[in-house]
Structure 1
Amino acid sequence: MIPKLRLLEYEIPFTSSFVFNVGGKRKTLNTRQGLLLHWLFGDQSIYTEVAPLPGFSNETLEQCKQQLLALDSEELSASVISKRLYPSVKFAIEAAWYQLEYPLRSTAVRSCSLIGKSSESHRIKIKAGHQSIENDVLSLKSVLAHLQPHQKLRIDANRTWTIEELETLQQALNTSQIDYVEEPLKCLDHYRSNGLPIAFDESLRELDPLKPVPEIFFTANAWVLKPMLSGLQRTIELAELARENGIVCVLSSSFESNVSLEFYHSLAQDLELTEEQGLDTLKYLAKDLQPAKITLRAESVPLADCKEIARLC
């Protein structure tokens, strides 16, 4: 089946300037930019999104646009999705054909909340590693002291600590309410058991998909998977491998629009993921791209304007 396909672009303001910690450097974004693919399979309409995240994705939005404009109708089909495609482009194509077979569910899954945003969530996430280890210890002690008994903390360090700093952290904190520490170390070879639960994120995306996953990854408590940065099929493969090996799998958004966030909530249910997912980011975007199909916001927001760039097929 060859669908009709339109390519559109959008720009959504963040509710306030957003600061990312990228490799120890701070990057500020005021808007989220991306591309929208509108697929028509007969009378069935499906939207998918191409939204590489600056500082985290290897590809730029302009590179994605040019790649899409260069594709022919055959390369947009489910049977011949090219390995050469950028992950965010591949994701958008895979997600369309996936939804054709598995339509969106109508309910949301439980999400982890960033610190200070929700006192009711069972899992709270905090970013660390942008200050000295001594100050990180003080900050984390304070957060842990204010958690409710039913809550646990997820700490994301974005590869900023040494093994010695991680051990300092482990010795200084009450770790009973730490769910896991995500990508704490600068070097993958430095991981060794020290009693702290560990999660892998960026390191998973760097793996060669044609080679077996190295043993070190199976020592983790959790794998954090970002479909926009890895592609959908690769995400599903890793999620299934995690389940087979008793590893918690967490889908994580990359500040995409409601189009992708609704898909992730549905995908988490398809994959039978029961832990709190990393999908509580829609609150940071001031607009939606399409009317909501799954209720993810406490209050409705305006719809963003989308400009058509081309008709791809």
Structure 2
Amino acid sequence: MIAAPLGAVTHLDLWGYRVPLKNPLRLGRRTIDERNGLLLEWQQAEGRVVWSEIAPLPEFSRESLQDCIRQCKGFFANPGFEDVDGLLAAVSNALAPAVRFGLESGCLQLSLPLPSPPPIRSCRLLDPDAPIPPDAATATCVKFKVGRGDLETDLDRIRRLLDAMEPRARLRLDANRSWSLEQATELCAAIDARRIDYLEEPLRPGLSYAGWADRTRIPFAWDETLRQDSLPDLDTPGLGALVLKPMLAGLAKTRDLVDQARVRGIRAVLSGAYESNLSLDFYACLATFWGLEGPHGLDTFRPFSMALLQPPRYLEDPVVRPVLGRDGLEHLDRLL
């Protein structure tokens, strides 16, 4: 049995969820119409319940949902720990990132009185295949995917977006590792650098960012690059932000990258990976607890047709959804 500072954990249950999406969601080469994931329910003796989530993202996570189920059952089959510290010490890189996140985030909630999820500034995430929505005109920060077609098409959409946005609003572009250095800097030269917050993952895997700062004033940001086997050089000139997805990296690694960004004066931006509202609420708590300024990349709840267990609490402008209660979950196992 795990003994936590806030009381003993009497039960730990593994649940599965399946939430239809309002519209099909394109993820890399794949399109999904529902989001599947796992929830860990940590029940304490005094009646307190903590939920944490395990939700690998198709096309971006190496582990499948079945891998995560097997790892959870195996981890607790012969537990050699008696408290939260012991559990965390047993969490190793042999576990998939999503499983590590579920265990680490559950333990953090058990161990610390985290703040309630505050309404938090999020960067408005636009669907690149849909018309520009009216609320983009009033958003202070907008994120838009580029690199799916030719540069001229991207430039036309960027210019129309900037024309629709307030002059002080900032645009974040995400190329998902689509371009050569020459293509990326050609696009940068054709847009107003003062309006661009950063260009996320512009270069194809394996290409060097060494000459980036000599070619453009627009900072670049790393996301997928941070999850490679070896960490890139965080002192590379031109690096402006680390986009951190705790579900895809694990919570401990995310915290380490936050610390490394802070000592270098680089922004750390928390970003969702289409998890449920439960994890997005948790990220809002983390942003406050870790002292991270926004806007963060937490505008990933819009495709969901339902919230899990409770309405989302982190949104400045609430997105109203029906709530899928406990009776809508699938009980998979009692782990403790």
TM-score normalised by L of structure 1: 0.92
Between stretches 89-98 and 144-153, larger displacement belongs to: 144-153
SS in 2 for 1:124: strand
CA contact (8 A) 2:198 2:221 kept: yes
Between stretches 186-195 and 78-87, larger displacement belongs to: 186-195
Matches within 5 A, 1:63-142: 63-72=67-76, 73-74=79-80, 77-106=87-116, 107-115=118-126, 116=132, 118-119=135-136, 120-142=138-160
CA contact (8 A) 1:38 1:47 kept: yes
Between stretches 10-19 and 177-186, larger displacement belongs to: 10-19
Q: Deviation at 1:300? A: 4.2
Work out which of the residue numbers 173, 194, 215 in structure 1 matches 2:191: 173
Matches within 5 A, 1:249-288: 249-288=268-307
**Which position in structure 1 is the counterpart of 2:57?**
53
Give 1:302's aligned amino acid.
Answer: V
RMSD of aligned residue pairs (Cα, Å) = 1.8
Q: How many residues end up aligned between the 2 structures?
A: 306
Between stretches 302-311 and 213-222, larger displacement belongs to: 213-222
Give 1:113's aligned amino acid.
Answer: R
Q: Deviation at 1:14? A: 0.8
Work out which of the residue numbers 26, 32, 42 in structure 2 matches 1:29: 32
TM-score normalised by L of structure 2: 0.86
Q: Deviation at 1:80? A: 1.9
SS in 2 for 1:190: coil
The whole-number CA distance in structure 2 between the counterparts of 1:100 and 1:136 is: 46
CA contact (8 A) 1:111 1:121 kept: no
The whole-number CA distance in structure 2 between the counterparts of 1:5 and 1:217 is: 44
Work out which of the residue numbers 41, 58, 69 in structure 2 matches 1:38: 41
The whole-number CA distance in structure 1 between the counterparts of 2:286 and 2:32 is: 28
Q: Deviations over 1:211-241 (max 9, x none)?
A: xx52555641000000000000100110111
Instruction: Give 5+ residue unaligned stretches, structure 1.
Output: none
Instruction: Give 5+ residue unaligned stretches, structure 2.
Output: 3-8, 127-131
Change (3 A) 1:281 1:293: closer
Does 1:302 find its partner at 2:323? Answer: yes
The whole-number CA distance in structure 2 between the counterparts of 1:178 and 1:98 is: 35
Work out which of the residue numbers 244, 247, 262 in structure 2 matches 1:243: 262
Give 1:140's aligned amino acid.
Answer: I
SS in 2 for 1:179: strand
